[in-house]
Amino acid sequence: MANDKHSQIFFVFAIPLYALYGAWVLFHCLSHFVRWVARTLKLEAGHLECPACGSSNSIFGRWECGAPGCGAVYLGNVGRFLRCHAGTSFFACDKCGDPLILRPGR
């Protein structure tokens, strides 16, 4: 009888904690998804604006891969090189040279 009462008390306190944890996980996953969609839409536009000088920089063009042992020149998106699958997290502004961030740090 006493064991049954303890389990009921445990569930009374545990259920709200599980609900809070579930709400936190849901909020966390939704916020990551929204940020991912925003970054994807920003990169699909084809250009990034420099926060320092305001100039528009194309993310499509002629790029040189900076991965160790690669160094190949390619035409395409700055985000990922298809030959060695190296990805870049930023590139320099054409006008002022400030870094334009493609992938924020983790």
Residue 77's domain comprises 47-106
**pTM score, whole prediction:** 0.56
Spatial separation of the C-alpha atoms in residues 94 and 92, rounded to whole Å: 6
Spatial separation of the C-alpha atoms in residues 42 and 86, rounded to whole Å: 20
Residue 59 sits in the same domain as residue 26: no
47-49 and 56-58 beta bridge pairing: antiparallel
Residue 38 sits in the same domain as residue 55: no
* One pLDDT digit (tens) per residue for the chain, 106 residues: 556 787 888 888 888 999 999 999 999 999 999 998 988 887 778 888 888 888 888 888 888 877 788 878 888 777 777 777 777 778 888 899 888 887 776 5
Residue 55 sits in the same domain as residue 38: no
